[in-house]
Each structure stands twice: as structure tokens, then as C-alpha cells.
Amino acid sequence: MKTRMIFVGPPGAGKGSQAKILSEKLNVPHISTGDMFRAHLKNDTKLGLLAKQYINQGLLVPDDVTNDMVKERFNEKDVQNGFILDGYPRNPLQAQFLDTLLKEHGMSLDIIINVTSDDEIIIKRITGRRSCPTCGAVYHIENNPPKVFGICDKDQTPLVQRKDDTEETVVKRLKVYYEETFPLIEYYKNKGLLVDIDGNGEILEITEKILEILGA
């Protein structure tokens, strides 16, 4: 079974939702650099303060900072089971850094899953997205609403909207995606590791497709 994977694709295509579900099903860690930065932000760390300036503008956090954070994460034992990278790497330099890092750990990538979607759908998805600051559960005001409006099903915490999920910032993030992240698709395609998955469907149906591809 393939357990060392990267999710690529535009913001809001559903990478995070799939990564979360698969992480539980396969018992491999979900490594989301976006979540890691947001945890730093919440805890007011130095790294969080630095990252905030970039995140709120829809820009990428500098590579050295991001790469160091990922490098540290790979020192944890749980990655021995495999890993689901979500939102990293996000440009060719990060991809090269990751290649070297994996080599140092004697690991290689099994598969890169490219979750695709259209800009219009992405903008609707992201601007309607709400999340729980306590448990991290993610909802959508139309497609996946909580049972009680604005309240997390799991722990009754009022839901919040990410600061970078406004329409203006989403347009910026999409631009950054096409300019900086999109070249990775070619990079991984050339390595023969890329699989495209249509992100415009039922979340669980997409999960089933991915599980099949992973040989789970």
C-alpha cells in the first residue's frame, strides 16, 4: 500500500479534507504546513508572528522558515508509518528540499495526488468555509453545514472564518498557486508519480477513489 504521499492542487480543492480522512483511515500523520503555521499563530510564537504577515496577504511564507519547520517534523517517529503532506511542497525549491530530506531519512515518495478544481468553484468553496478553533473540524455554509448554524457539531465551539479565506485573499492565493505551485505538477509528472483526482464531487466518493489508487 502507498503511504508516503503529497497532496497538491489549488487552495480549496479539498486536499485538506481528504488528507484528514485518509490520515485517520490509514493511521499515518497528516502534515499540513498551513495547519502548523496556524497553530503557531494561535500560540503567538515568534514563527507565528512572522508567518502571519505572509498568510494574511495570501503570500507564501519564506522557504527557509517553511523547510526548517518540515525538517523538524520529520524527526518525529510517526512518519515511519508514512505521511500525508498537504500544502507542502509549494514551489520547486521546497520540492528539492523535500527530496533531500527524504533521502536523509532513507525514504522516497510513493505518490503525488493532484486534486483538481475550477477557480469559480474554489472561490465559492473557500469563502463559504468555516472552521472550529477548538478541534479543527472544517465546514461549509452550504455544502457541509454544521447541525446548528455557526456551531461545531463535535464540541459546540462557535465556528470562525480564516482571515485569508476572504474573496480578495483567495484571488491572490490562486494567483500565487498558478505562478509558484503549478510548476510542481510537471516536476512530479516527469517522475511518474502524479495522479489526478477530480475534486468536484462528494467528499467520501473521492476518498474511496483515492483509497483504491493507494491500494488500501
**Catalytic annotation, residues:** 15, 90, 129, 162, 173
* Binding flag, residue 14, ligand AMP (CB under 6 A): no
Selection from ligand AMP, Zn ion, none that 11 binds (CB < 5 to 8 A by kind) is ligand AMP
Cα diameter, the chain: 48
Q: What are the distances in angstroms from CA 206 to CA 42, 44, 186?
A: 31, 36, 23
Q: How do 4-8 and 83-86 pair as beta strands?
A: parallel
Between residue 134 and residue 153, which ones bind Zn ion under the rule CB under 5 A? 134-135, 137, 152
Complex with ligand AMP: residue 40 or 147, whichever CB lies closer: 40
Do residues 140 and 128 lie in contact, with contact meaning Cβ atoms separated by under 8 Å? yes
Q: Which of 90, 125, 129, 130 binds ligand AMP (CB under 6 A)?
A: 90
How far apart CA 203 and CA 147 sit, in angstroms, is 18
How far apart CA 24 and CA 28 sit, in angstroms, is 7
Selection from ligand AMP, Zn ion, none that 37 binds (CB < 5 to 8 A by kind) is ligand AMP
* Binding flag, residue 52, ligand AMP (CB under 6 A): no
Residues lying near Zn ion in the complex (CB under 5 A) are found at 132, 134-135, 137, 152, 154-155, 157
